């Protein structure tokens, strides 16, 4: 202790350079208050305290008792010190914390729970029984946390006076340690936590001002437990960074954002707070790789410490810019935080319904991709091993129900796995680098639990499939399968051929091709619902059937030639569509003619040869050279148009009985409002303080409002409006004294307050 | 209307008021009996005001028919719908128009009695102003501009109204005073808003505002107040004025006309849609409305606008017109009312009823024997007697209600104003004839 003290004393010399001014202002209204001494039953117990005669001679004034210095008050020996003791001259200011040894102290019935104490206790006006409790608590080393918090406050007022009013900056380390100890002791009391927090914040700022003028590298850690004011230490640190021209990193911005009084964290952010912080950092780094550079504002830091005792205010100013009124960085951070909260919404909804699954596969799969990788590797280790053995490098098959079990998902009795659950399955697999077919996310039906599901490994860049070409190829496969099943015999050859043509389709990405192969495999394994294709097809309008037919033709003709096997498939398809068989041939014919109509110019008789040097023959219009491949744009367009039609028709066919539950479950019970939801931070702190007492003398109440920078009547109106909205009754009964209606609050809010 | 639970302290308030023969300020919904149509009509009025419309109602009823009770009920409904309510009684020194400060005095009384849901007993002006200022302060700091600019910006819509500039200045003065913790200035700003400054010089010295609220412009200030409470986040302003009969009693024709003219202005503004978020509910007796020498019907322009739907007679009622007539309670309504009083005593718990249902009829019979037919036209005395009876039983659990009936005092109720005196003069005249 001694070493620490001397060190801080050494740094005293430089303090004045950085603390431009620390002034103390007495608040007159405190003293204008009518002091009504509390009644105590102390008449017969009274005891005139006597100081050591030497003390009485030496100091008529008030004296600070250092730790270790013994003092006897009314028969109680206090050796831990840190008190102001003495009898103030009548001309002196009165301080709440000062122990006047001449005041009467009860002998029995100590008011240990502070029932006789007011919100702003003062030793001078304490009831003798409360004084007894206070002295006993002090004599016991002030380490009993079960006493009324009023006692702790009374002692705390003295520490506050010592540091901020009497400017004992040399004792700052010791004072901070003591307040930290008390804070730990009374951590259960929010009011004490708040005021001691202000003390520590301001004290550390003074330390920082004294220590150096440079910047700090690390911001304070982020927490949700924030106050209605931006902490002074943070203001100072941010100001210094800005002044030094240093960019703000993700951590700084996050700390600033979280501590900002206007910040309201959305449910996903507060529910999954650590993940939210991680995500915020990731997104911030992506948006501002070099950090956010902000030009320092002109006003210099000027902070007013308002004593918890209400006895004084003390100004702390520094020669660095004050960021308190900067809006732009907070707007940037807010936008970023909003989008992070959006990204976490699905995850938040899930764990809101059931917090136990927070580390399950399903929950993890709902996280943003870059956030889940690590946890997915951990949680999905078993699954990955199983997938590796089942799928290998290409394609594997598993029963739907088995896959569900592996994915730690449950199915309640349904034959068909609900679409929503299939989506979950698919997204968990995707997170591990696998895909499944059928997959409703890519236009497929949802499988039945007793049917096989085809699994495949997705390429590195993901298993997505979204292009027109994919839809078109999928439709081709579906139709081919339908055609194949039409006569009840699956001709592997035919399917294989179509799969190959899909594989050769250059418009498909690698991942789409892989997915289509899987789909083709699945179509072979599971005939329905394509066996019902005929039924479905006969149900659709003739116009749509014509379109389908034309699409099939266009697909068949996409490679510029129609061979016999394709014609064979088409014949069956036409039968399926309930068309005259002859219609196919005339349509095929028309298709050729159609092509001729489009290419309304001489056909090539003999291709130009390289040695035709004299006359250059221009390249064919309508055909462009794109690498080695020649693309016919009209044809592509036509296929594309038809595809859209087919997609709509197919979606009719694939349409299943709608899942009973909606896709996006509303946030059931997710947004259970916190006790004081709907109040801003300042009013939350206000209600917090109010709940400490049931009855408030008007003057105390007004002093509290002032300390929180609220207007008294406006604050009552705001709080009562809020409590009418929330609980259908007013919380504050106006008058003198004001009465707090505890029974208005629901139980959890009362508990939160206690 | 949903039935809120009755709290023990509300019970005491209601019973004390009923016992004293006055209308309780709280918990009226527990006492209201019948009059569903009338209540609905006014609830619609209140909703219209909250939606940005205007309303004007004359509640006309005989002495003892429950006008005051009804007005108070409406007041509570309005508060529940987040309206601000200003209420006052007219009197010899409080009128709508005057030259000797009586109108200003009415305005002062109205603003003193300004109430919100959280302050149902009046005195809410400071709360409303502070709530507005605190809000402006909050968004000013968030938006990085000065609080005064924010106040100006928010109150800009008021500037278009008559005297809007001075009103805005007074609100801004309140903010400056709060910021500087200057209680004197703050009180001065509130005094100005309450119309308590008598002279312009005084106002200029105290607040540097050039004009004051005086006899000639109180209606304009009521409009401003309506706009202000709207901006401060409430639904609108409902002004309820009782004892309108005081205008009828004015001796000077000129003074009467001037007051009726103010009523006409209000009515016209409502009918023409000039006002927003402002409603008037005025209570008066039939002679105030219909006396063709001194009542509203003596003023031609009002008479034509207030003329009643002549098809709505004999029990049929039309509640869309500006005049709403309250009939005295029927025997049956009185019966139900006694039941509700019993229920208040029991805090709504049927197991705790102090007397059985049979007691009501016996009690009514008893009253009618003692004071004659008047007992149900002016239910006040009957109710008072009944409350007394229940109080005695409550305090003496062993007592039988039948035994107590004989001891319950029932006074004759009579209007305590000069109207009755003139009636009794008539009586004397009659007897003279005889």
B130 vs A262, A325, A717: nearest CB: A717
Over range A169-198, report the average pLDDT.
91
User: CB-based contacts of A91: which residues, under 8 Å, 6+ apart?
Assistant: none
Q: Which residues of B touch A713 (CB under 8 A)?
A: 126-127, 129-131
Q: Which residue has the higher pLDDT, A227 or A697?
A: A697
A327, A714, A730: residue with CB nearest B133? A714
pLDDT band with cut points at 50, 70 and 90 for residue A40: very low
Q: Is the per-residue pLDDT at B418 higher than 50?
A: no
Residue of B nearest to A330 (CA): B142
Q: Is the pLDDT of residue B20 over 80?
A: no
B397 and A CB contact within 8 Å:
no
Count of Cβ atoms closer than 10 Å to residue A728 Cβ: 11
Per-residue pLDDT at A669: 36
Q: Report which of A217, A199, A201 is spatially closest to residue A209, judged by C-alpha positions.
A: A201
A583-594: b (≥16 Cβ within 10 Å) or e: ebeebbeebeeb
- pLDDT digit string, tens, across residues B28-44: 667 777 677 778 888 88
Select the residue of A680, A714, A720 nearest B130 (Cβ to Cβ).
A714
Q: Which residues of A touch B127 (CB under 8 A)?
A: 713-714, 716-717
Q: Are B61 and B71 in contact (CB under 8 A)?
A: no
CB contact under 8 A, A716 and B118: yes
Average pLDDT in the A113-132 region? 90
Structure tokens at B303: 């008479």
Which residues on chain A place their C-beta less than 8 Å from a C-beta of chain B? 262, 325, 327, 680, 706, 710-718, 720-721, 724, 728, 730, 734
Q: CA-CA distance, B352 to B186, in Å (whole number)? A: 51
Residue in B4, B127, B143 closest to A714 by CB: B127
Give Cα separations from B98 to A257, A617, B102, B215, B256 (angstroms).
59, 105, 6, 6, 10
Q: Are A403 and A446 in contact (CB under 8 A)?
A: no
Cα–Cα distance for residue pair A160/A96, rounded to 1 Å: 11
Tokens 């700003």, located at residue? B189
Q: Is the pLDDT of residue B4 over 60?
A: no
**What distance in Å separates residue A337's CA from the closest CA in chain B?**
18
Contact A323, A297 (CB under 8 A): yes
pLDDT band at B376 (very low <50, low <70, confident <90, very high): low
Contacting residues of B for A30, CB less than 8 Å apart: none
Per the prediction, chain B carries an average pLDDT of 81
> Chain B: nearest CA to A40, how far in angstroms?
30
Q: How many residues does chain B have?
A: 434
Q: How many C-beta atoms lie closer than 10 Å to residue A554's C-beta?
A: 19
Instruction: Judge whether residue A206 has pLDDT over 50.
Output: yes
User: What's the mean pLDDT in B212-228?
Assistant: 91
Which of these ranges, A115-119, A129-133, A624-628, B108-112, has the smallest mean pLDDT?
Answer: A624-628
| Cβ contact, residue pair A714, B143, below 8 Å | no
DSSP notation for B174-206: HHHHHHTT-HHHHHHHHHHHTT----HHHHHHH
Distance separating alpha carbons of residues B124 and A716, to the nearest angstrom: 11
| Between A420 and B230, the higher pLDDT residue | B230
> A121 pLDDT exceeds 50?
yes
B68 close to A (CB below 8 A): no
- pLDDT > 80? residue B432: no
pLDDT in tens, B332-372: 777 888 888 888 888 878 888 888 888 888 888 887 777 76
List the single range of A343-357, A465-479, A687-701 with lowest mean pLDDT.
A465-479
Mark yes or no for CB contact B131/A718 under 8 Å: yes
Give residues 181 to 210 of B whose Cβ lies within 8 Å of A.
Answer: 181
Contact B115/A at CB under 8 A: no
pLDDT band at residue A127, thresholds of 50, 70 and 90? Answer: very high
Q: Which is it for the CA torsion B124, B128, B133, B134, positive or negative?
A: positive
Long-range CB contacts for residues A701-707, cutoff 8 Å, separation at least 24: A701/A737, A701/A738, A703/A29, A703/A30, A703/A33, A703/A120, A703/A310, A704/A119, A706/A29, A706/A310, A706/B181, A707/A306, A707/A308, A707/A310
The pLDDT of residue A387 is above 90: no
Candidates B118, B131, B134; nearest CB to A724: B118
Contacts of residue A698, defined as CB under 8 A and 6 or more positions apart, other chains included, come to A736, A737, A738
What pLDDT sits at residue B106?
Answer: 94
Task: Mutation target for A interface from B118, B119, B234: give the one with most A CBs within 10 A.
Answer: B118
Average pLDDT over residues B139-143: 78
Partner A, chain B 126-185, Cβ-Cβ below 8 Å: 126-134, 138, 141-144, 178, 181
Q: Which ranges of B291-330 would DSSP assign to H, the alpha helix?
A: 300-306
CA dihedral B388, B390, B392, B396 (to 10 degrees): 180
Of A327, A706, A730, the CB nearest to B118: A730
Q: What angle do CA A700, A702, A703 make, to 5 degrees?
A: 65
**Residue A336, C-beta contacts closer than 8 angstroms, at least 6 positions apart:** A280, A283, A284, A287
Residue A639 has pLDDT above 70, yes or no: no
**A700-713 as b/e, with b when 16 or more CB fall inside 10 Å?**
bbbbbbbbbebbbb
Does residue A332 or residue B418 have the better pLDDT?
A332
Write out chain A residues lying below 8 Å of B180, CB-based.
none
Bridge partner residues of A317 (DSSP)? A302
Residues A592-607 have a mean pLDDT of 48
Instruction: Report the percent of chain A where pLDDT is more than 90.
Output: 12
Which one-letter DSSP state was computed for residue A185? H
Q: Mean pLDDT in chain A?
A: 74
Q: How many A×B Cβ pairs under 8 Å? A: 52
Percent of chain A exceeding pLDDT 70 equals: 67
Render pLDDT for A264-290 as a digit per residue (tens, 0 to 9): 888 888 888 888 998 999 999 999 999
User: Count of alpha carbons within 13 Å of B421, Cβ hemisphere only?
Assistant: 3
Contacts of A120 (CB under 8 A, 6+ apart): A96, A309, A310, A700, A703
pLDDT above 90 (res B231): yes
How close is the nearest chain A Cα to the Cα of B32, in Å?
21
The yes-or-no verdict on residue A160 having pLDDT over 90 is yes
Which of A262, A721, A734 faces B142 most closely, judged by CB atoms?
A262
Q: Which of B131, B141, B181 sits opposite A714 (nearest CB)?
A: B131
Best of A328, A334, A717 to disrupt the B interface (most B CBs within 10 Å) is A717
How far is residue A600 from each of residues A38, A121, A469, measured CA to CA in Å? 108, 101, 27
CB within 8 Å: B128 and A717: yes
Q: Measured between CB atoms, does B9 come within 8 Å of chain A?
A: no
Helix axes A419-432, A369-379, angle to 10 degrees: 90
Q: Which residue of A has its CA nearest to B126?
A: A713
Residues of B in Cβ contact (< 8 Å) with A680: 138
CB contact under 8 A, B130 and A711: yes
* Structure token digits, residue A444: 């497929």
User: Which helix (H) or strand (E) covers residue A456, if one does?
Assistant: strand A452-457
Q: What is the pLDDT of residue B422?
A: 35
Q: Do the chains contact at B134 and A734, CB–CB below 8 Å?
A: no
Spatial separation of the C-alpha atoms in residues A541 and A578, rounded to whole Å: 12
Per-residue model confidence (pLDDT) at position A44: 37
Which chain B residues have a beta carbon less than 8 Å from that of A720? Answer: 117-119
Q: Residue A14 class from Cβ within 10 Å (0-12 exposed, 13-18 middle, 19+ buried)?
A: middle
Choose, out of A264, A711, A735, the residue to mutate when testing the contact with B (most B CBs < 10 Å). A711
């Amino acid at each position: 202790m001694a070493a620490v003290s001397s060190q801080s004393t050494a740094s005293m010399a430089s303090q004045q350079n950085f603390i431009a001014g620390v002034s103390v202002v007495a608040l007159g209204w405190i003293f204008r208050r009518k002091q009504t001494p509390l009644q105590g039953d102390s008449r017969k117990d009274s005891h005139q305290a006597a100081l050591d005669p030497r003390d009485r001679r030496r100091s008529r004034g008030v004296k600070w008792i250092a730790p270790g210095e013994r003092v006897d008050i009314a028969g109680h020996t206090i050796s831990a010190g840190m008190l102001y003791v003495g009898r103030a001259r009548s001309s002196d200011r009165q301080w709440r914390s000062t122990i006047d040894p001449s005041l009467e102290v009860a002998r029995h019935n100590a008011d240990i729970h502070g029932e006789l104490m007011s919100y702003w206790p003062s030793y001078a006006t304490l009831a003798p029984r409360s004084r007894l409790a206070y002295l006993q608590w002090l004599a016991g080393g002030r380490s009993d946390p079960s006493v009324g918090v009023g006692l702790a406050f009374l002692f705390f007022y003295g520490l506050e006076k010592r540091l901020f009013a009497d400017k004992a900056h040399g004792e700052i380390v010791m004072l901070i340690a003591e307040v930290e100890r008390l804070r730990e002791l009374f951590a259960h009391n929010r009011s004490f936590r708040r005021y001691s927090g202000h003390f520590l914040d301001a004290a550390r700022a003074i330390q920082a001002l004294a220590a150096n003028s440079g910047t700090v590298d690390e911001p304070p850690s982020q927490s949700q437990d924030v106050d209605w004011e931006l902490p002074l230490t943070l203001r100072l640190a941010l100001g210094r960074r800005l002044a030094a021209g240093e960019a703000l990193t993700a951590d700084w911005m996050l700390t600033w954002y979280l501590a900002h009084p206007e910040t309201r964290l959305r449910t996903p952010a507060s529910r999954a707070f650590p993940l939210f912080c991680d995500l915020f950092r990731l997104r911030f780094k992506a948006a501002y790789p070099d950090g956010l550079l902000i030009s320092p504002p002109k006003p210099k830091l000027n902070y007013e410490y308002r004593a918890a005792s209400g006895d004084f205010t003390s100004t702390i100013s520094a020669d660095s810019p004050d960021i308190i009124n900067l809006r732009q960085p907070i707007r940037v951070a807010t936008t970023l935080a909003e989008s992070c909260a959006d990204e976490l919404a699905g995850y938040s909804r899930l764990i809101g319904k059931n917090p136990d699954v927070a580390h399950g596969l399903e929950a993890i799969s709902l996280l943003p991709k870059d956030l889940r990788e690590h946890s997915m590797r951990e949680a999905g280790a078993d699954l990955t091993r199983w997938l590796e053995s089942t799928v290998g490098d290409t394609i594997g098959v598993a029963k739907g129900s088995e896959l569900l079990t592996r994915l730690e998902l449950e199915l309640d009795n349904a034959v068909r796995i609900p679409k929503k659950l299939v989506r979950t399955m698919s997204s968990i697999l995707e997170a591990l680098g696998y895909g499944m077919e059928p997959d409703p996310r890519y236009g497929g039906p949802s499988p039945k639990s007793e049917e096989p599901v085809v699994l495949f490994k997705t390429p590195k860049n993901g298993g997505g499939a979204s292009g027109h070409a994919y839809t078109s190829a999928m439709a081709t496969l579906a139709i081919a399968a339908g055609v194949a099943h039409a006569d009840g015999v699956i001709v592997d050859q035919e399917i294989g051929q179509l799969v190959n043509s899909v594989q050769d389709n250059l418009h498909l990405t690698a991942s789409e091709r892989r997915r289509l192969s899987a789909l083709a495999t699945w179509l072979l394994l599971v005939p329905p619902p394509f066996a019902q294709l005929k039924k479905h097809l006969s149900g659709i309008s003739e116009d749509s059937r014509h379109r389908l037919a034309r699409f099939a033709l266009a697909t068949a003709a996409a490679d510029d030639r129609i061979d016999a096997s394709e014609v064979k498939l088409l014949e069956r398809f036409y039968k399926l569509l309930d068309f005259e068989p002859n219609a196919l041939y005339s349509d095929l014919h028309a298709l050729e003619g159609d092509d001729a109509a489009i290419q309304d110019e001489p056909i090539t008789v003999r291709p130009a040869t390289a040695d035709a040097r004299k006359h250059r023959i221009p390249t064919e219009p309508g055909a462009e050279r794109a690498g080695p491949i020649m693309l016919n744009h009209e044809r592509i367009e036509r296929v594309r148009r038809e595809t859209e039609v087919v997609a709509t028709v197919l979606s009719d066919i694939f349409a299943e009985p709608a899942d009973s539950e909606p896709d996006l479950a509303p946030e059931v019970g997710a947004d259970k409002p916190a006790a004081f939801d709907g109040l801003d931070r300042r009013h939350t702190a206000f209600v917090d303080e109010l709940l400490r007492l049931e009855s408030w003398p008007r003057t105390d109440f007004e002093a509290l409002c002032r300390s929180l920078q609220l207007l008294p009547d406006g604050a009552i109106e705001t709080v009562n409006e809020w409590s009418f909205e929330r609980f259908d009754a007013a919380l504050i009964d106006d008058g003198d004294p004001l009465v707090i209606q505890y029974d208005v609050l629901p139980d959890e809010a009362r508990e939160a307050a206690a | 209307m949903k039935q809120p639970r009755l709290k023990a302290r509300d019970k005491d308030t209601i019973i004390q008021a009923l016992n004293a023969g006055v209308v309780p300020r709280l918990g009226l919904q527990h006492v209201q009996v019948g009059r569903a149509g009338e209540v609905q009509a006014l609830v619609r009025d209140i909703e219209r005001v909250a939606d940005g419309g205007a309303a004007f109602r004359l509640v006309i009823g005989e002495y003892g028919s429950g006008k005051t009770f009804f007005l108070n009920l409406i007041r509570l409904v309005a508060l529940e719908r987040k309206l601000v309510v200003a209420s006052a009684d007219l009197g010899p020194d409080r009128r709508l128009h005057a030259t000797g400060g009586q109108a200003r005095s009415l305005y002062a009384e109205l603003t003193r009695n300004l109430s919100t849901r959280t302050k149902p007993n009046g005195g809410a002006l400071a709360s409303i102003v502070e709530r507005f200022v605190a809000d402006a302060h909050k968004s000013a700091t968030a938006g990085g501009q000065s609080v005064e600019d924010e106040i100006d910006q928010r109150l800009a819509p008021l500037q278009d109204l008559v005297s809007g500039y001075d009103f805005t200045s007074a609100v801004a003065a309140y903010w400056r005073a709060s910021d500087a913790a200057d209680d004197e200035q703050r009180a001065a700003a509130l005094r100005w808003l309450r119309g308590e400054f008598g002279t312009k010089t005084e106002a200029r010295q105290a607040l540097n505002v050039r004009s004051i609220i005086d006899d000639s412009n109180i209606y304009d200030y009521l409009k401003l107040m309506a706009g202000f409470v709207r901006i401060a986040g409430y639904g609108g302003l409902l002004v309820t004025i009782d004892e309108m009969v005081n205008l009828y009693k004015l001796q000077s024709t000129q003074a009467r006309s001037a007051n009726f003219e103010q009523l006409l202005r209000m009515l016209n503004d409502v009918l023409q849609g000039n006002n927003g978020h402002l409603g008037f509910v005025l209570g008066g007796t039939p002679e105030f409305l219909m006396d063709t020498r001194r009542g509203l019907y003596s003023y031609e322009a009002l008479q034509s606008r207030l003329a009643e739907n002549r098809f709505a007679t004999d029990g049929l009622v039309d509640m869309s017109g500006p005049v709403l007539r309250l009939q005295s309670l029927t025997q049956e309504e009185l019966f139900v009312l006694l039941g509700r009083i019993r229920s208040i005593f029991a805090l709504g718990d049927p197991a705790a009823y102090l007397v059985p249902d049979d007691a009501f009829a016996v009690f009514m019979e008893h009253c009618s024997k003692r004071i004659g037919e008047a007992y149900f036209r002016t239910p006040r005395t009957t109710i008072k007697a009944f409350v007394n009876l229940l109080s005695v039983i409550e305090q003496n659990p062993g007592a039988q209600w039948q035994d107590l009936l004989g001891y319950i005092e029932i006074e004759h109720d009579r209007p305590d104003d000069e109207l009755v005196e003139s009636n009794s003069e008539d009586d004397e005249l009659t007897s003279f004839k005889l």
